[in-house]
A = this chain, B = another copy of it.
Amino acid sequence: MKTSKITYKLFFLIILILQIFPSFAQNKDKPNIVVFFVDDLGWQDISVPFYTGKTAINKKFHTPNLELLAKESTKFTNAYATPVCTPSRVSMLTGVNAAHHRITNWTHPLANKPTDNPDDLLTPPDWNINGMSPDPNIPKTFHATPFPMILKDHGYYTIHVGKAHWGSAGTPAASPKNVGFMVNVAGHSAGHPQSYYAQQHYGNMPGKASLQAVPDLMEYYGSETFLTEALTLEAIKAISEPIKRGEPFFLNFSNYAVHVPIQPDPRFVQKYLGNGLDATEAAYASLVEGFDKSIGDIIHVLKEKGVYENTVIIFLSDNGGLSLKPMRSGANHTQNLPLRAGKGSIYEGGIRVPLLIKDVQDGKERVSDVPVIIEDLFPTILEYAHIKDYSLVQKNIDGKSLASLTKGKTDGSWKNRSLIWHIPNKWTVPDGSGINFFSAIRRGDFKLVYEMKKGKLELYNITEDIGEMNDLSDKNPKELRALSKILSDQLKRWEAQMPVIKASGKKVPFPDELN
């Protein structure tokens, strides 16, 4: 009887504890996950070096919070996204490569509006111009299960803050609430803010609002709250709820910075002007330091609330840095040197992005030079959340979990991995430096670039020639043929879309079909 009585008391005590701290039972298995997603940030546009040491570009920028985060993270020095935003964002959300999901260019804020520019030679294919969709039968969308929906269905409190841009207005994915987020702040179908300024209501001025006017932030109107700061305050407000409840949360903090319009963040711009940067580049650097402060502020709250240790943090950009004048200063395509070109390009400047992952297991600083790509985040995040049992609309995913790499483990499976890019689109005018109608593959040290309009293949040794200056196609025909075959086979397997040659009405050939 005595044993029974003690057990009885213990039993109620444990029930009481479970009631008060429901997190106790779950936390270890379900760490919080925070993604800091930055828009249009170049590979070197922070003070954390991802190349052989601090470059001149790294030195222009001040991101002290990322420097601290890097010390507890795995730094992926060969991480990639796609050349423009929507393809990257959908790849992350669905685990599927852009060639495969067929959202190969940015999506218009309104439905059924292609965003390709006119071209004399080629017609882009009938790609999914309305973005992804969690629902079937939505015209011109990629139907898939987004991972936040899986997290939500497994008890995560899911929050989106900032830029969404997964689907056009008039389709479900225009609202983050339809892709698995319980809470949405400022995310919609547009890809950039009309204005970063609260004084301009972030664009929502009567009679002046465009489709890019940022929703949801009316409490800041007329104040001096820069958009980056407003989003940070909203993110902090939103995560306080699951933290209070002891629930695991996923925060997708997708800053609108540093996308155009490159407007100076008044909190930081003076320093950069003082450092001798011109108005445009000082403004750009101020946007960079602004999101860095965002990251610092949120990490501060995570620490203060005692949940930092149990939080996975992922930092990355959605494509390379913009390299077009007059939005940026300097000659075109010089902004990301030694990387070639910038946003929109299939060359490294357009697709190489900084990626940091802080694991919960330990806070070790690690470097991984394994080539990885944005669709890898889908299985990575689900592995961190220990979710194995889920069903997907998309038949299979193309990404591969990076979780083991962040624990310092690697194996042969990474060695000859192929990463693929495919842009059968006309993003901007004029063509040039890897922009418009290109495919590419990276495997090991080598990268093959296919310029569709010229029917031309280029081969680079990325490890030795990160600037893609030395075309090896003549010198190494064996590697050229091998990569051409792998790229073509994979594109065919994915039923990737090719543009049509206007003169002949025929499709552009796959690279292995070139004469």
Contact = CB atoms under 8 A, between A and B. Distances in A.
Interface of A: 1, 3-4, 7-8, 10-11, 14-15, 18-19, 22, 25, 110-111, 152, 155, 167, 169-175, 177-178, 182-185, 188-189, 201, 204, 206-211, 213, 215-223, 234, 237-238, 241, 245
B209 A169 contact: no
Contacts of A218: 169-170, 174-175, 188-189
B19 A219 contact: no
A269 B8 CA distance: 64
Contacts of A10: 11
B223 A170 contact: yes
A175 B241 CA distance: 16
A211 B189 CA distance: 20
A7 B1 contact: no
Given A11-B7, A18-B18, A175 B216 contact: yes
A209 B213 contact: yes
23 contacts: A3-B3, A4-B4, A11-B11, A14-B15, A22-B22, A110-B221, A155-B245, A170-B219, A170-B220, A170-B222, A175-B219, A177-B185, A177-B234, A177-B238, A178-B237, A182-B183, A188-B218, A189-B218, A204-B211, A206-B209, A207-B207, A215-B216, A216-B216
Nearest to A242: B182
Nearest to A217: B175
Nearest to A173: B219
A136 to B, nearest CB: 15
A206 B108 CA distance: 14
Nearest to A223: B170
Contacts of A204: 209, 211, 213
A102 B169 CA distance: 40
Given A169-B222, A170-B222, A206-B210, 4 more contacts: A3-B4, A7-B7, A7-B11, A174-B221
A215 B155 CA distance: 28
A323 to B, nearest CB: 29
A313 to B, nearest CB: 23
A286 B268 CA distance: 54
A274 to B, nearest CB: 32
Nearest to A221: B169
B19 A25 contact: yes
Contacts of A221: 110-111, 169-170, 174
Contacts of A173: 219
A219 B172 contact: yes
B237 A177 contact: yes
Nearest to A177: B237
A174 B241 CA distance: 19
Sort A-B residue pairs by CB-CB distance and give the 5 closest, nearest first. Answer: A169-B221, A170-B222, A169-B218, A174-B218, A209-B209
Contact of A207 (B19, B22, B210): B210
Contact of A1 (B3, B177, B234): B3
Contacts of A185: 177
Contact of A183 (B15, B152, B183): B183
Q: Could you say which of A208, A221, A238 has the most chain B C-beta atoms within 10 Å of its C-beta?
A: A221
A155 B20 CA distance: 11
Contacts of A25: 19
